[in-house]
Every structure is written in C-alpha cells, then in structure tokens.
Chains A and B, each alone.
Chain A
Amino acid sequence: MEETIFKRWSRELTIAGAIVLFLLPLIGIPGKTYITLTIAGLAMGMLLFLVASGVSIIFGLMDVLNFAHGALFAWGAYVGFTVFGYLMKWVEADSVLQNFAAFSLAIVAAMVVVALVGIVLERVIVRRVYGSHLFQILITFGATIVLVELIRVFWGPNDEVMTVPLTFSRNWDIMDVIINRYRVICIVVGLVVYGVIQLILKKTKLGMIVRAGVEDRDMVQAMGHNIFLLFTGVFAAGAALAALGGLAMSIFSLQVYPDMGGSFLLFAFIVVIIGGLGSITGSLVGALIVGLTYNYVAYLVPWAAAGANIMIMIIILLIRPTGLFSVGK
C-alpha cells in the first residue's frame, strides 16, 4: 500500500518536502531577515539559472561540456562595464527611464558581442572536437585561458568597480521588510528568460528541432535539418545567456575582474548536476536550490556556505545520479 501512495502522490510529496525544507531555516532566522534572504537567494538563483541554462542546453543538444562558459560570462560583464562607462550620465541619472535605457543597452551590447565570440569559438575551436568529451573539456579550458587573458589585454588586469544604476540601488520598504530593487529586477529578468526559452522550445518549429536534437541528433540530421547551423545557433544563444548572467551578476556584486567566471562556472556545474544536464526546468530548479541554500547557510554558518551546495550536489548524486530532471541520454 505504502508504495502506491508514494507513487500516486509522488509529485505533491516532493513539492511539499521541498517547501518544508525551505521553511526550515525559519527556525534559526527571524522572519523579516528570512524574507530578505529569500529574495536575495531567488535573485542569485535566477542569475545562476542564466549561466546554467546555457551550459545545460549546449550539453543536451551538442553533447559538449563547455568549460569556456565562465569566460563568456566574464566577457558579458566587461562589455556591459564598457557600455556603462559610455553612458555614465544615464546610469547616474535619477530617472528610472534613463537607468533602464542604459541597462537595456548594456544587456543588448553584451549579448550581441558575446554571442559573436561564441560563434567564433564554436566554429573555430569546438567544432573540431565533437564526439570526444575529453578533448572538448581540454579545448574549452584552453579557450578559457585565452579569453580571460584577452580580457586582461583589452580591459587591464585589475578589479574594476561596477556602477549600479542609481534608481536600481534603492530599497523598497514594505511593512518594515527591506527589499532591494535590483534583486527584484534580477528575479523578473530570470523569469522572463525562462518564459522565453520555454516558449521558443515548446511553441516554435526551431524549438521543436532543438528538442528533437536533444533526443536524437542523428535522426534530426537524417530528416534534412542542418544540425551544424543549429549547433552554432544554440552555442551563440548559450553564450548570450552567459553574457546576460555576467552583466547582471557584476551589477549585483558591484565589481568586475578577469577571473570572475571561474567561481560562477563552478556554481553553474553544481546547478546542472543537481538539475540534470540538458533540462531547462532542471536548471531553474537547481539554480533556485543553490541560490537559496547559499544565502540561508551564509547567514547561519558563514564558513559553510560553499560546502553546503556541494553537499546537496553529493546527496542528489547519491539518490538520483542523473539529476532531478534528467533528459533521455
């Protein structure tokens, strides 16, 4: 009997379990702080989702583990930094409209530039090593070295301070709970990106081909679609998402530095291992888990923050080795 109950209610049980787990920190954290931390965690989770979704979909479709994603992330941050430099007046203006204009322009510029870098990367380097995981990792790792060094050449080797658009940095005060506006913006951006990706994947023909490619690459090719063009496109899209994540993150943490991609790539890997490689929803869930846990644990036991996520990853690997939402392969 027990088994059937678990089977019938498995979905609800999982959700209930997750909710209980995330209310658990309430024992140690006062309510208002909990809400602030939750919003910070959700914002961080959304930023992680932007990076992890790219890693995940590139792996799902192309079977390529892209270690250069962290460098693309840093490139996005630096391109945004440059745009902010040119639009300093708009960034520092006390007007929501001008701030948003500068923010959107920076996003567009970062995504376009990094997508181009991604196309070059895929065409010149990654294409040569399809099929061999080992060489993919090696070559994308080499690309990371080169891309990070290029950042040092173009923008200089030092840390730079990232300016936050003035109106973004203010707080809302709702019933004595302090909510930072920029965090809410991050959450909205993340949700919009998730919605757009899902729409493209589920409702358009292109998305159908991509999903089919994740299931069975050879068959898509046999049906007459140019899978290599698709690969380049998906790689560029993943790079653009990484750039968006990098820009958003650099505003979040108020700084840009050449090696910033490394630690984030690591978080992205933890996210995709938890969520399951190749699944967008998995990336979202994994990213939120990682973001929330990081913030709660960082508040309760500061030194254990980095370890907590790795512990979660290990536990999930033990229970479900292929991640929470695993795709076919």
Chain B
Amino acid sequence: MAEATPVQIFHMEEKRRQYRSGGFFLKVGLLALFVLVPFLFPSFKTVDLAMQIIMFATLVASFDILLGYTGILSFGHGMFFGIGAYCVAFLVGKYGTPSYANLALGFVIAALVASVLAIVISFLSLRVKAIFFAMITLAIAELAIVLATKLSGFTGGEDGISLNMPGILAVSFSAGNFLGLEITGRILTYYFILLACLGLFLAMLRFTHSPLGRVLQAIRDNVERAEALGYKTFIFQAISITFGCVVAALVGGLYGMWVGYVNPESCLGVLSIMLAILLMCIIGGMGTLYGGIVGAAFFMITETFLPDLQHLAKDFFPSAVFLHNVLERWHLVLGVLFILVVIFFPKGIIGSVREFIDRRK
C-alpha cells in the first residue's frame, strides 16, 4: 500500500475516533434531549422554546456556511429565511388549500426562488469584492421588506398571512394519549420539524466535510492562493452561497409551519431576524456549525426568560438599580458582548472551548 497522504491519515484518525469521543456522546445526548422535550416539559412555552432553538440553530448553521466556511458576510440571510416562510405561506395559506402536496410544493418553490436569487446576487457582487456582498445583500433585504409591505394585495402587507396545516399536522388533530402526553398536531409538527432540521444539519455537515468544503475553507483563508492553485474561487463561493441560502429558505418554510403566521416584521426584518442570526453565529462561534446550537440556545433562552429575570432581580435585589438597568437594556449588553467576543474570542464559545480542551491535552 502506498504511503497515505496527511489528509488520508487525518481522515482515518477521525473515523477511528468518531464514535468514541466525548463530543459524539454530547451530540447524541443533545438530540435525545430535543426528542424528549415534549414528554419532559409538556408546557407550551418550553416546547416552543426548544423548537425555536432547533430552527434557529439550523438557520445559524446555514449562515455559518457563508460566514465561517466561505468568509462572506451576508445581510440577506434573514431575507432568504423570509422568502421560504412566504413561499410556504402562499401555498398553504393564501393561494392554496392546506394539503400535503401544496406543502411540499411550497418548499420546492422556496428552494428554487432562493437558489435563483442567491446566484443572481453572487454574480452581481462577487465580481468586484467580497465586501460588496454585505452591502448589496443589505440593500436587497431592505427592498424585500419594502416590497412585502407595499405590495399588500400579493403578500398580505403588514397583516401577514396565516397558515393552515394539512391532515395530521393540523392544530386540531389528535391521536390520543401516549405516555401521558396528548399527541396533537402540534407535537407531530414538532417532530416533523425536528427531523427536517436534523436532516438539513447533517446535509450541511456533509457539505462542509466534503472536498468542496475544504476548497471553500482554502478560499476563505487565502483567496489568492486558492486561485493560484487553479480553483475558480468565484464558482465555489457561488455554490456555497446558494447552498446556504437554500437551507435558510427551507428553515424559513419550517418556521412558517410552526408559527402558523408570517408577516414582514417577523420573517424578513433585518433588525429582528438578521441581527439575531448574526449575534447567535458570532457568540456561538463561527466556522464550526455547532456554534449555531450554542448561540441559538443562549440567545433564545435569555430572550424567553428575560422578563422573568427582570422580575427576579426586582424582587430579590430591590436596591440594585444598576442590575435593573442592565436587564432593562438587554440589547446594549448583547451589543457590548458581541464586540468583546469579536475582539477577544473571534472563534466564539465553541471555538474557545475547543481550543481550551486542545491545550489541556
């Protein structure tokens, strides 16, 4: 047998360790936790929280493909998310009856629209400089909000669109009790979305660990060098952007299914969705995909329990005015945290923890 190349050795090492490392058990444990959430904490609030974490983790991972693996910052990721939500909403809400075929068609259309738009934006902006991408996506995302609001005949305007789910996914559906939990359409939707997100996440892992993913990382680290090695950097970047955006659109469709309602503010908003994605990605750690889970969990949990925290602070520390003010202006804290993370821990929580573990070894 010929001498193995360093990459092959690395792969073999990785394969041997794959099912034995602590990280693997952690991931399986996390998945099991998400599967069991409806049984362990059947309240609406916790199930909703878990669902939001799952969807945003997948969304942030798709953003990470652009930011962490390709080195391209997009401010239009929230827009692709919204496009997905709107496509599904059109098919099962405004222009079609709720049926499985329409639901599936909605997702297909979402993926098609997202991929076409992503390719067009890549062709427009990447020819010049990667930073143009940030500016142009920001402009187009704002345009999308304006269009969604102004063309109210087509999109429902500010009022948005309500979605109705077909068959066993409908809110009114019930399949009796199982282990003390009533299996409603909501619970089935939860598992459907969990499964879909898991599939998307695995697809993204496959994407980033493929030879293509390696080329992307090479481009991110040194464009000139990758070009000199003969890779058409533009094509690779366009592929990666398209893939990330399609995943975002699909997650958007799932989000529409779960929330049952889409409007410009909640689905397309640069300041609402996009800001959340960016914060989650940076704080969780970019370039890891798993950072999205940590970031989304951190962000969503604080967001959900922030009012409780504020009450708690007022009850237990009535004199600590500073603490009240800090909790009152939570976004300020997040902004400062964001800047500090970018300066001191550019790899985010996951990256820093990994570095720490590697150093201890």
Contact = CB atoms under 8 A, between A and B. Distances in A.
Contact of B343 (A128, A134, A270, A321): A128
A321 B127 contact: yes
Given A149-B331, A307-B146, A270 B339 contact: no
Contacts of A35: none
Contacts of B282: 138
A135 B346 contact: yes
B134 A65 contact: yes
A96 interface: no
Nearest to A318: B124
B151 interface: yes
A269 B346 CA distance: 26
A292 to B, nearest CB: 18
A194 B285 CA distance: 43
Contacts of B278: 138, 141
Interface stretch (A26-34, A79-87, A258-266): A258-266
Nearest to A139: B342
Contacts, number: 90
A146 B343 CA distance: 15
A263 B142 contact: yes
A303 B335 CA distance: 34
B342 A269 contact: no
A15 B336 CA distance: 48
A191 interface: no
B16 interface: no
B171 interface: no
Given A134-B71, A262-B271, A149 B124 contact: no
A149 B138 contact: no
A125 interface: yes
A153 B329 contact: yes
Interface of B: 67, 71, 73, 124-125, 127-128, 130-132, 134-136, 138-140, 142-143, 146-147, 150-151, 270-271, 275, 278, 282, 329, 331-332, 334-336, 338-339, 342-343, 346
19 contacts: A128-B343, A129-B342, A129-B343, A133-B130, A137-B73, A138-B342, A142-B342, A145-B331, A146-B335, A259-B271, A263-B142, A266-B138, A269-B135, A303-B151, A306-B142, A306-B143, A307-B147, A314-B124, A317-B136
